[in-house]
Amino acid sequence: MKRIVIRAILACWGFAGLAALSGCATVQPWEKQNLAKPEMTFEGDRLDTGYTEHIYSSKEASSGGAGVGGGGCGCN
DSSP state of 28: P
Helices (H), 23-68: 32-35, 46-60
The b-or-e profile of 18-27 (16+ CB within 10 A means b, else e) is eeeeeeeeee
Q: How far apart are CA 64 and CA 70, in angstroms?
A: 9
37-67 pLDDT, tens per residue?
877 777 667 788 888 888 877 776 655 545 5
Q: Is the predicted pLDDT of residue 6 greater than 80, yes or no?
A: yes
DSSP state of 39: G
Q: How far apart are the first and last CA of the chain?
A: 62
pLDDT of res. 67: 57
* Better pLDDT: 44 or 75: 44
